[in-house]
Amino acid sequence: MLFFTQCFGAVLDLIHLRFQHYKAKRVFSAAGQLVCVVNPTHNLKGAPPCTCPLFSCPWEGRLEVVLPHLRQAHRVGVLQGAEIVFLAMDMHLPAPADWIIVHSCLGHHFLLVLRKQERHEGHPQFFATMMLIGTPTQADCFTYRLELNRNHRRLKWEATPRSVLECADSVISDGDCLVLSTALAQLFCDDGGLAIGIAITATEACSSEAEV
C-alpha cells in the first residue's frame, strides 16, 4: 500500500529518531558497486541457497551465514530498535548502485535494500524493500513501513517483508517494493542524502501464537 500525502501543517516529529539518523550516517554512508570474493559453501540438503542482496556480488550460501557475509565482506552496519532512520548518501551515483543496512529488532535481523537501477535505458529508478534473514513463513509474521518526510511532504509504503531466500532481484522485478522515480526521490533528498524512516511490527496472529 502506498500513501502520498502533501500537507502544509506541521511536519511529522522525527526528533526521537535523530540519534539513529546520525548513527546510520556514521555506520554506512554509501555502498554502490561492491564486489566480494566468492567463497562457496555447501547448503543443507534440500535447502535453497541464499544470494547476496548486493547486485554485484556473486556470493551464495546458507541462510545462517548471510549476516556474517554482509558484516565481514561488505562491512554492513547494524541498527537496533523497532523504529530507525537510515540515511543513504550519494544518491547521485550512476545506476546500478546499492545501499543496504541491517535492522535488528523483535529478535530478528531485517535488511533494507535500496537499489538504483534502470528498467528503461536512461531512466533510473529507486527501489526500496525490507527482507527478513529468515524463512518466508517467518517473514509473514511481520509488517514493515518505509517513510520519507521532507518539506511538508510525506510518503509511506507498508508491506510484508520478503525472505532473503526469495532474492532481492526477484522482489524488485516483481515490483513488490517502494518505487521512486528520480524526480520523486529528489523531492525527499537533502544535500544528496535520502533519509528513510523504518518501522517493523509483528502481526497480531503471530504475536498471539508467541504468547501461547
The per-residue pLDDT for 86 is: 93
CATH 2.60.210.10 fits 73-203, yes or no: yes
The per-residue pLDDT for 212 is: 44
More confident residue, 158 or 49: 158
Does the structure show a pLDDT above 50 at 172? yes
pLDDT by residue (tens digit) across 51-89? 999 988 999 999 999 999 999 999 999 999 989 999 999
Cell of 135: 524463512
More confident residue, 25 or 124: 124
Contact 110, 200 (CB under 8 A): yes
pLDDT by residue (tens digit) across 79-98? 999 899 999 999 999 999 99
The per-residue pLDDT for 47 is: 59
The per-residue pLDDT for 187 is: 94
Contact 53, 111 (CB under 8 A): yes
pTM of the model: 0.75
The per-residue pLDDT for 120 is: 79
State the DSSP H helix or E strand holding residue 67, giving kind and residue range, or none if neither. helix 66-73
Cell of 206: 503471530
CA–CA separation, 193 and 42 (whole Å): 39
Which residue, chain included where needed, has cell 531512466?
A: 123
pLDDT > 90 in the chain, percent: 58
Cell of 93: 551515483
CA–CA separation, 49 and 56 (whole Å): 17
Average pLDDT over residues 163-188: 91
Contact 51, 153 (CB under 8 A): no
Cell of 1: 500500500
With bands split at pLDDT 50, 70 and 90, how would you rate the model's confidence at 46?
low
pLDDT by residue (tens digit) across 105-130? 999 999 999 999 998 787 899 999 99
Scanning the chain, the segments in alpha helix (DSSP H) are 18-27, 66-73, 136-139, 168-174, 182-188, 204-211
CA–CA separation, 181 and 158 (whole Å): 18
